[in-house]
Amino acid sequence: MMKNIYKKILCILALGLVLTSCENYLDDAPKGSKIPTTLADYEAFLRDEYANQSVNVAQALNLMNDKFIDIATLAADRLTKANYMWDETTDRIQLNQEDESTYYMQYKGISTFNLIIANALTTTEATEEQKRAVWAQAKILRAMSYYNLVNFYADTYLASTAGTKLSVPLITSADINAPSKQVTIQELYDFILNDVKEALPYLPKVSQTALHPNLGAGYAFYSRVYLQMSNYTEALKYADLALAENNKLYDWNAYYIANKAVIDIPNDYTNTPSPMGYNYVENYTFRHGERTYLSTEYSIPVERAQRFETGDVRFRSRWELRTVGADTYYRRTLSGMFNYGGITTVEVYLIKAECLARANQISQALEVLNTVRKTRIQPSSYQDIVTTDKTTALNAIFRTKNNELILTIIPFADARRLNAEGTYKVSFSKVNAGTTYTLSSTSHLWTMPFPQGATRNPGNGTITQNVAK
């Protein structure tokens, strides 16, 4: 079902930013190629899961220390080391000459979605409702890609500065000659919100595949964006609408019991099947993370593993302690597919919990939080979190959310949001080989530099770095 129907995108990717205009390129079909004319032709691009649906945020994971980096890699990859070891003296702009996949893959997807948006409504062999659905799904996916870019390469949203600080190039055409403008953060968020607004009336309640955003995905993404803007009223509103479409939570306790005989074997790293694939009951829409072909997830550092709750069977089912030479870490033990770039119900539950706590509805917020935790924490270890203190409640929500969405962009985006707010700041500290390393809440490292390939060859526009180094 999920196989990419078209092995090659029919329009040529140029300058890493935009696909060649079909108005020009499709005047003459190359021998052996097909000109897309039907809705099915354009809908097939949505199924290009290993390109258009891939979300690589590896350097954000490095900065968060959410994935383990071995000694050999730290010695060889200076950009990875700068982020992983929180080295503020390093000029990451100079080092970022090859780490370009985050930038180019997101824009490759955007270009494809632009192509669909421009042509879906005039295709053949489909009803108007079917055309509108594909058009709307491309709008949601384009908005999701821009969300990833602005929360990687630009400062986080802050209402007081969003109108003056630059974000990323905004491109709305698949034409190779289309101009791009590096718009402000506010302009890009306005664009994202408008894409979702226009798409919502046409999204199907049940979509063709997990790669096609449904109505629940539209509501859930709306909620994510409003949360990042600290608009808790709207974030809660759309979280509730999303959960009305799908409120299922996966029973990780049942998974652990079913696979316990393999999981609990000491020093055995036999892979068990990942339940977080296309049919994961928590999916609103599925998108890959960086590791699309290897079909395994990342191992994690010992220090990161210590932030999981006692009795967390989701953690126990995914990683096991291992020492190889000088490296000790928690090795990944699942194989299969992982929804790292899409949206799941657990994220929306925890958005709802935060919004309720922000509104001082502490008991209701904890009810939502504990609903999630009961499906993750072993019954012998489980206790409801009970408090009347807002800060305690929010910290419990943040902890659970960081653990639930580890290896996605969300913990990174949340940390940036909380640091900009200033009340619940995020900072890290670790000791390595006797030296203490810290990442402060105000560090410039929280914004990633554009790759040099993009700034040197910005297409039909200009790009200004959003970070000094």
Mean pLDDT rounded to a whole number for the chain: 91
Q: What is the pLDDT of residue 458?
A: 86
pLDDT digits (tens, 9 = 90+) for 217-226: 999 999 999 9
Largest CA distance in the chain: 69
Alpha helices in 290-443 (DSSP H): 302-305, 313-316, 345-358, 362-373, 390-404, 410-421
pLDDT over threshold 50, residue 5 = no
Q: What is the pLDDT of residue 137?
A: 98
Mean pLDDT, residues 331-359 taken together: 97
Mean pLDDT, residues 59-85 taken together: 95
The answer to whether the CB of 54 falls within 8 A of the CB of 287 is yes
Q: Which of 60-64, 133-137, 172-176, 379-383 has the lowest mean pLDDT?
A: 172-176
Of all residues in the chain, the percent with pLDDT exceeding 90 is 83
Q: What is the pLDDT of residue 16?
A: 36
pLDDT over threshold 70, residue 414 = yes
3 state DSSP class of 240: helix
Q: What is the pLDDT of residue 221?
A: 98
Alpha helices in 90-184 (DSSP H): 92-95, 101-119, 128-153
pLDDT over threshold 60, residue 25 = no
Give pTM, 2 decimals: 0.92
Q: Which of 348, 356, 418 is nearest to 390 (CA)?
A: 356
CA 205: distance to chain centroid? 22
pLDDT digits (tens, 9 = 90+) for 111-136: 999 999 999 999 999 999 999 999 99
Q: What is the pLDDT of residue 175?
A: 87
The answer to whether the CB of 232 falls within 8 A of the CB of 355 is yes
Q: Please give the domain boundaries of the chain with CATH numbers for all domains.
A: 13-211+424-456 (1.25.40.390), 252-334 (no CATH)
Q: Are strands 428-432 and 435-439 parallel, antiparallel or unpaired?
A: antiparallel
Amino acid at 103: Y
Q: Which of 332, 407, 295 is nearest to 60 (CA)?
A: 407
Mean pLDDT, residues 397-422 taken together: 98
The answer to whether the CB of 290 falls within 8 A of the CB of 358 is no
**Number of alpha helices (DSSP H) and beta strands (DSSP E) in the chain:** 19, 12
- Alpha-carbon torsion (273, 279, 283, 285), positive or negative: positive
Tally of CA atoms within 13 A in the half-sphere of 202 that contains its CB: 21
Amino acid at 144: M
pLDDT digits (tens, 9 = 90+) for 208-253: 999 999 999 999 999 999 999 999 999 999 999 999 999 999 999 9
